[in-house]
Structure 1
Amino acid sequence: MEKNNSLENNLIEQEKTLFFQVFNRLPVVIEEAREHLIWDKSGVCYYDFLGGIAVNALGYSHPKILEAISKQSARYLHVSNYFYQDAQINFAKKLKDMSGYDRIFLSNSGTEANEGAIKLCRKWGADKNKTEMIAFTGGFHGRTYGSLSLMDKPTYKENMGPWLDGMKVVKFNDCDELERNVSEKTAGIMLEFIQGEGGLVEANPEFIVKINELKEKYNFLVIADEIQTGAGRTGKFFGFQHYRITPDIVTMAKGIGGGLPLGAILAKEFLNSVWSKGNHGTTYGGNALACATGLVVLKELERGLIDIVQKLGIIFKIKLNNLQKRLPNKIQEIRGNGLMLGVVLTFEASLLVKEMLEKHKIITNATSGNVLRIVPPLIIKEEDINFFVEKLEESLLNLPN
């Protein structure tokens, strides 16, 4: 997209000289944002259907978020975890009530939550001679070392090994392969119930049944990576609640912070005794400001936002499925639940991302090559969905077969 604003062009050029070039950035320099709308420094308005990659659950500059930031920042921003903090305790109480889990550890991010979950799982298994962990192809658990050890993404791992021992990555939704890899040495299985980076592929119900059966036989822990699917994104508080399973450990991040860095490990009570003082920790995790905004998010979800997401998700998916029927040469299928949807294309999704950004000022994201990922703020309305589907169809028709 061609930029006329010299300030924007200058900033884009400066970025190239300052940072490691690891991001495929859109050619947009942000000035401000409200609700699901973003303005660049030229005054151009964009419609955000990416939501900070599923982070901005309440959109941008939500008045209750801003109020919480104002009140907490007037008190203090950070103290160490050597002290008790009401902001942390109030957030954790609400999270415990809404999740049904007993013990919580607060971190800064999703990958930190997953690292902690791996440590907790392996320590639980240590005296049982359970040292192995299993995750699945297409999964994404973060960019740090332990998380990457449970992933099969060559781009993220090339020439950075060796990786942690005892980590297996087996084919997602393949019951037979899973059964061949589980043993008495298995400490835990980590999975996403909808794979955000893996093309919005959903776990098959029979696959979850098999995990339950194997858990009963071999006594391992199930870790639900709810970093992207959690906090109401799929129309339920957790993505796993679409299935008959109760994980032992849940990891969360992204949407629960209201735009500030916040992650969490949630666990059942029997795991409380696994960690003792000093076994795990964090400097910034559970930052008071992030907990204050996180509490706002949880209260809004509790007030009925999850039900709205469920209804909007049904409407959105019906409209996308109807579009697929009209354009079967462009769209293969629609995946996902709630406001976490994927449009599986017959061509590279990056072409469609570019077309929608340039022609219609709609921000989306390509994942897994040919999948358009849709994870807007949870506060969008039905008219926003109608607008999106209309412009999606125009964009698809404008692209060559």
Structure 2
Amino acid sequence: MSDYAERYAASVMNTFGPPKLVLARGEGAHVWDTDGKEYVDLLGGIAVNALGHAHPAIVDAVTSQLGTLGHISNFFTSAPQVELAEKLLTLLGLEPGEGKVFFTNSGTEANEAAFKLTRRTGRTHVVVAEGSFHGRTMGALALTSKEAYRTPFEPLPGDVTFVPYGDADALAAAVTDETAAILLEPIQGEAGVVVPPEDYLAAARAVADEHGALLWLDEIQSGMGRTGAWFAHLGTGVRPDVVTVAKGLGGGFPIGACIGLGDAGTLLEPGNHGTTFGGNPVACAAALAVIRTIEDEDLLEHVTVLGQKLRDGLAVDPRVTEVRGDGLFVGLELAADVSAEVAAAALEAGFIVNNATPRRIRLAPPLVLTEDDVNAFLEAWPKILDEAMA
């Protein structure tokens, strides 16, 4: 570990700080470091590894596709690209011709594409929620509320208004006839898995309609089965105009998508936007393998049931003041500002969790997490809190 850590410090830009571990291999929801210690991965590469590590369906799809057709550029298309676009539209409940997909390499690029799409309305104003995270590129960063991320790089692309998340009245007051889009996460991820009031998205849809604005939902963390549904917004009955997705879409292989529903799918025209690697056959084959495996193994039901067990078990300890989320997208509120200590104690105990804020822990494990994994974590949880709060 120390040798690689020293080499990392000497050769890799210091944008993430020292690595907590040097990982060597993974299988399912488990990883091993270079010293051979095993961990249960309850973060899943930050909601990315939908099928865990080294899942044979992804390995087979990527190796098979790479052995036939790898990169072709977007002067051409391929069967995996077309099939994945069609499948994503189907998962959103759309009929053929009711939407269009632009493929990217990441979530921030999906949001960049969507941001440019909103400018094609002829308007520039975007209303975004406080606590939001939409990416680190300059456009996506302009839509991310955290001052520590934004300030070093200002001035950023305007014209953005931030309002309290979950406050429908504040949202309504901020949107005008000059607003191009309302951008929301159906469940906020980096803020610590924050769930809005039940009618919040419906209120956002109504406000958008009143002013002729687009409703853009960032499902980069919450999508692709993480909440026990393909997309977190589907249970609300709200139809957005734009959906962005990435992270779990490729199960660890880099891919993202900006999806325009209805007329929004026609706003970007030839020459308006582009990508070199987006939608390449290998990435699309990986994403198709993820989707097919979730379907074939009934993982949406598994995520729903196991997520409830996990949340219920964590809520028992009085040092946890709130448990939020759906499926395997879980946020914990602690009774004290000890989330960093909790994450460290969990790591020592063999569990990878994320300290999202000083009082919040975020869990986004692989969808293939087992009941044994959950039982082991719940059994260790009281001692982890003991160590952190000593």
316, 320, 324: which one aligns with 1:322:
316
Structure 2 gap ranges (5+)? none
Q: What residue in structure 1 maps to residue 27 of structure 2?
A: 34
Q: What residue in structure 2 maps to residue 110 of structure 1?
A: 107
349, 361, 378: which one aligns with 1:389:
378
Higher mean Cα deviation, 339-348 or 170-179? Answer: 170-179
Which digits, 9 at most, give the CA deviation of each residue in 1:104-123, with x for residues without a partner?
11000000000111111120
TM-score normalized with structure 1 length: 0.92
TM-score normalized with structure 2 length: 0.95
Secondary structure of the residue aligned to 2:224 is coil
Aligned partner of 1:134: which letter?
Answer: V
Aligned length, in residue pairs: 384
1:131/1:27 CA distance change after superposition, 3 Å: closer
Higher mean Cα deviation, 88-97 or 33-42? Answer: 88-97
Whether 1:312 and 2:306 are equivalent positions in the alignment is yes
Secondary structure of the residue aligned to 1:148 is helix
1:216 is displaced (CA, Å) by 2.8
Q: What residue in structure 1 maps to residue 187 of structure 2?
A: 194
Aligned partner of 2:205: which letter?
Answer: N
1:273 is displaced (CA, Å) by 3.0
108, 119, 124: which one aligns with 1:122:
119
235, 255, 262: which one aligns with 1:269:
262
Distance 2:342 2:389 in 1: 11
Which digits, 9 at most, give the CA deviation of each residue in 1:259-313, with x for residues without a partner?
1100001111322332221111100101211111110111122232112111111
1:26 is displaced (CA, Å) by 4.1
Whether 1:364 and 2:353 are equivalent positions in the alignment is yes
Aligned partner of 1:269: which letter?
Answer: G
Whether 1:299 and 2:292 are equivalent positions in the alignment is yes
Which digits, 9 at most, give the CA deviation of each residue in 1:173-198, with x for residues without a partner?
12222122111001101111111111
Whether 1:245 and 2:245 are equivalent positions in the alignment is no
Aligned partner of 2:128: which letter?
Answer: A
Which residues of 2 match residues 1-400 of structure 1 at below 5 A? 8-101=1-94, 102-123=99-120, 125-126=121-122, 130-303=123-296, 304-323=298-317, 327=318, 330-346=319-335, 347-358=337-348, 360-400=349-389
- Conservation of the 8 A alpha-carbon contact between 1:95 and 1:298: no
Aligned partner of 2:113: which letter?
Answer: G
Aligned partner of 1:351: which letter?
Answer: E
Q: What residue in structure 2 maps to residue 4 of structure 1?
A: none
Distance 2:18 2:41 in 1: 15
- Conservation of the 8 A alpha-carbon contact between 2:221 and 2:248: yes
- Conservation of the 8 A alpha-carbon contact between 2:338 and 2:388: no
Distance 1:275 1:400 in 2: 52
1:265/1:207 CA distance change after superposition, 3 Å: same
Which digits, 9 at most, give the CA deviation of each residue in 1:164-223, with x for residues without a partner?
121111111122221221110011011111111112111212332321321231121101
Aligned partner of 2:159: which letter?
Answer: G
Aligned partner of 2:388: which letter?
Answer: L
1:25 is displaced (CA, Å) by 4.5
1:210/1:98 CA distance change after superposition, 3 Å: closer
Distance 2:12 2:59 in 1: 30
- Conservation of the 8 A alpha-carbon contact between 2:225 and 2:300: yes
Q: CA RMSD in A?
A: 1.4
Distance 1:183 1:230 in 2: 29
Secondary structure of the residue aligned to 1:195 is coil
Secondary structure of the residue aligned to 1:272 is helix
Aligned partner of 1:357: which letter?
Answer: L
Secondary structure of the residue aligned to 1:297 is helix
Distance 1:143 1:337 in 2: 26
Secondary structure of the residue aligned to 1:223 is strand
Distance 2:106 2:140 in 1: 12
- Conservation of the 8 A alpha-carbon contact between 2:101 and 2:265: no
Higher mean Cα deviation, 294-303 or 333-342? Answer: 294-303
Secondary structure of the residue aligned to 1:232 is coil
1:99 is displaced (CA, Å) by 2.1
Structure 1 gap ranges (5+)? 1-7
Work out the percentage of aligned pairs sharing the same amino acid.
36
- Conservation of the 8 A alpha-carbon contact between 1:50 and 1:364: yes
